[in-house]
Chains A and B, each alone.
Chain A
Amino acid sequence: MLAFPTLCLVTLIVTQALTKTYGGRVTALADLSVTVEPGVIGLVGANGAGKSTFLKIMLGLIEPTDGSVRVLGLDPTVEPDKVRSRVGYMPENESLPPDVSAAEFVTHMGRISGLPRTAARERASEALRHVGLYEERYRQIGGYSTGMKQRAKLAQALVHDPDLLLLDEPTNGLDPAGRDAMLALVHRIGAEFGISVVVCSHLLGEVERICDSLVAIEGGRLLRSGSMSAMTEASDVLAVEVSEGAPELAAALEALGLPVRHEGRMLLVPLESEEAYDQILRAVAELDLPLHRLDQRRHRVAELFTPKETADV
């Protein structure tokens, strides 16, 4: 038990120049070096960016061509069993047998993870309760909706109480309400269960809401990584649209010491303090301009990625 707290302090995932090429031609991952602290981590990238390859390398299912990787302080290429017993994996594709009940299936998966029989049954019930399938757990999986199947997949990844969950596109195929519910669940697992989660998604807007940190990859290369707080710091912006007199307003605001950016017909003013909002409103009122729109928006992480993305292309 004494060793455990120190294990917790180990960095969740560290990669050094991680590279994976298939047959020397197709590059799935190129020179990926990233350090990830525990929490909920969004792994973002377009389809084919190398997210699934990265997950499989972390599970020790495929060997990297070059570079090194450590998960929970362990090297999955050397000790895959140790890593896998502490990691839960939810694949992207359909991966459930249709003609058994969720309770039976998750129990079986618990046993395959090394839980004794009784513990497996108890933990399976618990896991299914946490994902919200408690009532339906004795129904055959074949009769489940897509959302329920995704939850069952999550439950089997959770049954052996892992320290890290790897979720490959958990919101795939879900309707908006289902997406929100799944994301809330993932967030809860990270925040309340004390389990670190890596969520893969090709939708940045989706994961940025629930993540503590983000890793964005494109074409197998690291685009950017960092904590959400660092990325979104001081990034609240007020978008002001007036039907005329925009230049005058911009001049007035700049005179007040507020940096103004133009975006189409809108003026974007960073909201650094509470007063800024009042100052802007007052400026509009004093100039007696017809105000069309006043939007306070959180600077989306997507915008943080945009400049670099375009520079890369």
Chain B
Amino acid sequence: MSETSVIHDIGYQRYEGPRLGRGAVIGALVVHGLRVAFGLGRSAKAKIFPWLVFGIVTGVAVIVGAVRAQADIVILDYVQFADTMSWLIILFVAIVAPELVSRDMRSGVLPLYFSRPLRAADYIGAKFAALVAAVWLLLGVPQLVMFLIAAFTTDDGMRGVWHEVGDLLPAWAYSALWAVLFAAISLLIASLTGKRAFAAGAVVAVFLMTTPVFGVLQTLPSQNAQHLAGLASPMMLISGVGLWLLPDTNPGWSVGRFGPVYGIEAVALIVCCLLLLLARYRKVASL
């Protein structure tokens, strides 16, 4: 470069700084997905829905907590809270999962991702982690609110607080189970189409259609059939795993001695969804 051009030099600069590995790239993609889930860094329109859901869920938690503190009536315990909020969660994943994967498919941005040091599994993993985290926050934060209200109004001092912690932690794990299963199913459905509205409809439909099946099976005279009815619906499946692992909960039905079956199906369903997702994106990535 000549001496005289230096003053006006706005020429190209090579990048000499650090280049981060795949771990950091996946991390960046997870954070990006989490921001997308809650509409952060996007238009006000994109924020309305997630924050509305978040507001409702937290509002319910505050009411439940307050009623318990004032009147000593337990409307919902931590675990029941997660069950009761399930329809809102379905709405949430139905909107957010297409936002995470259908958008990328629609806008044709995937070749730009996969021409970088990013594998199909990394992409799936990051999107999955982001959605799991978003759903878990949606349940876990209100549960924490309930806990805080209970902890500050307890009459038993430290012992009461410890008791609440003992209730909260399994409930957080239970919320994580909700998050993992719902994220896996909804991402798989959403990855099949680039149209967000279709994807959202399909996610709601899958959860909606399977619930009546549970209702019908529950009316069968056989007790085994009643105990196994929950396997037909993802929502009841989680509920069943809850019944098996957290026996104090009482959602009004029972899994009898079939608890492990629920556990196995839940794990199998999650693994299956993720493998199908991976297969789908292996194909997409090579296009």
Contacts and interface: CB of A to CB of B under 8 A. Distances in A.
B17 A116 contact: yes
A302 interface: no
Given A61-B286, A104-B41, A115-B19, A109 B114 contact: no
Interface of B is mostly: loop
Interface size class of B (residues with CB under 8 A): 35 or more
Contacts of A126: 12-13
Contacts of A96: 107-109
B84 to A, nearest CB: 34
B113 interface: yes
Nearest to A55: B115
Contacts of A243: none
Contact of A119 (B17, B32, B42): B17
A288 interface: no
Interface stretch (A26-34, A84-92, A221-229, A264-272): A84-92
Nearest to B111: A91
B15 A112 contact: no
Contacts of B114: 61
B70 interface: no
B196 to A, nearest CB: 11
A81 B286 contact: no
A250 interface: no
B112 A81 contact: no
A201 B117 CA distance: 26
Contacts of A161: 14-15
Nearest to A127: B12
B204 interface: no
Contacts of A117: 28
B11 interface: yes
Nearest to A85: B117
B11 A85 contact: no
A87 B113 CA distance: 13
Nearest to B13: A126
Interface of A: 56, 59, 61-62, 80-82, 84-85, 87, 89, 91, 93-100, 104, 108-109, 111-117, 119, 123, 126, 129-130, 156, 160-161, 189, 192-194
9 contacts: A61-B287, A89-B112, A91-B108, A91-B112, A97-B107, A112-B113, A114-B22, A115-B19, A160-B15
